[in-house]
A and B are shown apart, each in its own frame.
Chain A
């Protein structure tokens, strides 16, 4: 049913090698006409809403994280009906193999992949290295926007619980590991928000007690690809102190950068239970009476009021 999985040495070391494809693999698949019958769909998802229009991988469709995947009223993701309509319009059926790529080391692409996973889309993969690597290698790009035949996508409701954490889940999670993927300045609380940018900020600066600081980009190599398994283990098992079987929650500012880390923990290192806390610091740093820690120390498990 799904498109053949790439075999290579680097990917073979990962827990779920079928979740990544290389630029070589994708170029060969496109060359062989893989996009013709809707079995494979390539999706570009960027931070910049106009970047796709400046040139993209031939045949790729665009999905914007904000205008397409976020509900426009409630702070939440779209629901089953809207997702089915979006997927169909992009030529995606329930059994389609979807390859997602984007700018900034796939930061937003990983976020889109996480949302696809909320809807239980089975075969969704990341292009290792993303948009920048494809372009750096001088591969084809086009400004032609494809008009795919509509896919057949059923209305499937999201199943948030396995991979998404809400604020109360995080409060109940204390004692288990948390990974904070923001910059060190945001982690210590030295910076609450960017100057003159209060709308995006938080009233408090710091981190969730006990969270380890591993900025998301450390999981990516210079060329935007994921670091190999040994390097990722040094980062998350060594530095962050995770142990096999841990139940992990990752967070950042709004849940986008932590999707990149979520992908690494879940599919590359094979942690069964990893949740992305998408409320992240824009919720936690503003919420009333939740504990925070300032400074570089992780802090200890807080005694919660009323517990």
Chain B
């Protein structure tokens, strides 16, 4: 697999990871975990609007919102919540947020399901832990696909 089918921001993140040695990739994932944005207040006060991704070893909640665009397809906004004591989960969420937030349904749904493998973290993180990230991406795509069906 190559990065040709990835949205530009996500392709750039993948390139950044691949350019690094394994220990530095972990450090970069840690940076993403620190950079994961806080939930906006309207979601903070409404935990019922977030859906738990139970496949992750640590609690991870996510929500998507379609932002109407005057011209063309709506942009999907992604929101994540994961506790600070789960930096690996937060790091994955940070990667997906930076790589997919604000894209159209078509762009998000085109991301290959095994995209997390491209980060080159499998050995350092272990396959078991990588599954959480694959599940997170799968959940985002399912939610976006469902919302997209309602829109159209």
**A50 and B88 form a contact (CB under 8 A):** yes
- A54 contacts the other chain (Cβ, under 8 Å)? yes
- Specify which chain A residues have a CB less than 8 angstroms from the CB of B128 in the assembled complex: 66, 200
**A50 and B57 form a contact (CB under 8 A):** no
Return the contact of B88 from the options A48, A196, A199, A200 (Cβ within 8 A).
Answer: A48
- A67 contacts the other chain (Cβ, under 8 Å)? yes
Known: A50-B87, A194-B55. 15 other contacts (CB 8 A): A47-B57, A47-B58, A48-B86, A48-B88, A48-B89, A49-B125, A50-B29, A50-B91, A51-B87, A51-B88, A53-B26, A54-B33, A54-B84, A54-B87, A195-B55
Q: Number of A residues whose C-beta is below 8 Å from B?
A: 18
- Specify which chain A residues have a CB less than 8 angstroms from the CB of B57 in the assembled complex: 47-48
Q: Number of B residues whose C-beta is below 8 Å from A?
A: 25
Q: Mark A55-73, 1 if CB is under 8 A from B, else 0.
A: 0000000000011000010
- Specify which chain A residues have a CB less than 8 angstroms from the CB of B29 in the assembled complex: 50
Residues of chain B in range 102-123 having any CB-CB distance to chain A below 8 Å:
123
Q: Which residue of B lies closest to A48 (CB)?
A: B88
Return the contact of A49 from the options B27, B55, B126, B138 (Cβ within 8 A).
Answer: B126
- B85 contacts the other chain (Cβ, under 8 Å)? yes
Nearest CB of A to B138, in Å: 7
Determine the distance from Cα of A270 to Cα of B33 in the docked complex, in whole angstroms: 42
**B30 and A50 form a contact (CB under 8 A):** yes
- B131 contacts the other chain (Cβ, under 8 Å)? yes
**A49 and B129 form a contact (CB under 8 A):** yes
- B124 contacts the other chain (Cβ, under 8 Å)? yes
Interface residues of A (CB under 8 A from B): 47-51, 53-54, 66-67, 72, 103, 132, 194-197, 199-200
**B135 and A48 form a contact (CB under 8 A):** no
Q: A54-B87, A195-B54 are in contact. Are A49 and B131 (CB under 8 A)?
A: no
Determine the distance from Cα of A50 to Cα of B29 in the docked complex, in whole angstroms: 9
**A50 and B55 form a contact (CB under 8 A):** no
**B54 and A50 form a contact (CB under 8 A):** no
Most B C-beta atoms less than 10 A away, residue of A54, A67, A194: A54
Q: Which residue of B lies closest to A65 (CB)?
A: B126
**B55 and A196 form a contact (CB under 8 A):** yes
Nearest CB of A to B83, in Å: 10
**B126 and A67 form a contact (CB under 8 A):** yes
Nearest CB of B to A109, in Å: 14
Nearest CB of A to B72, in Å: 32
Determine the distance from Cα of A47 to Cα of B128 in the docked complex, in whole angstroms: 11
Q: A53-B26, A196-B55 are in contact. Are A48 and B87 (CB under 8 A)?
A: yes
**B131 and A200 form a contact (CB under 8 A):** yes
- Specify which chain A residues have a CB less than 8 angstroms from the CB of B58 in the assembled complex: 47-48
**A50 and B126 form a contact (CB under 8 A):** no
Q: A66-B126, A103-B85, A195-B54 are in contact. Are A50 and B135 (CB under 8 A)?
A: no
- Specify which chain B residues have a CB less than 8 angstroms from the CB of A199 in the assembled complex: 131
Nearest CB of A to B89, in Å: 7
- Specify which chain A residues have a CB less than 8 angstroms from the CB of B33 in the assembled complex: 50, 54
- Specify which chain A residues have a CB less than 8 angstroms from the CB of B30 in the assembled complex: 50, 53-54
**A49 and B26 form a contact (CB under 8 A):** yes
**A51 and B55 form a contact (CB under 8 A):** no
- Specify which chain A residues have a CB less than 8 angstroms from the CB of B84 in the assembled complex: 54
Q: A47-B57, A103-B85 are in contact. Are A196 and B135 (CB under 8 A)?
A: yes
Determine the distance from Cα of A66 to Cα of B126 in the docked complex, in whole angstroms: 7
Nearest CB of A to B145, in Å: 15
Return the contact of A53 from the options B87, B89, B126, B135 (Cβ within 8 A).
Answer: B87
Nearest CB of A to B7, in Å: 23
**A48 and B26 form a contact (CB under 8 A):** no
24 pairs, CB–CB < 8 Å, chain A vs chain B = A47-B57, A47-B58, A48-B86, A49-B26, A49-B126, A49-B129, A50-B26, A50-B33, A50-B88, A50-B91, A51-B87, A53-B26, A53-B27, A53-B30, A54-B30, A54-B84, A54-B85, A66-B126, A66-B128, A67-B123, A72-B123, A194-B54, A196-B138, A200-B131
Residues of chain B in range 72-87 having any CB-CB distance to chain A below 8 Å:
84-87
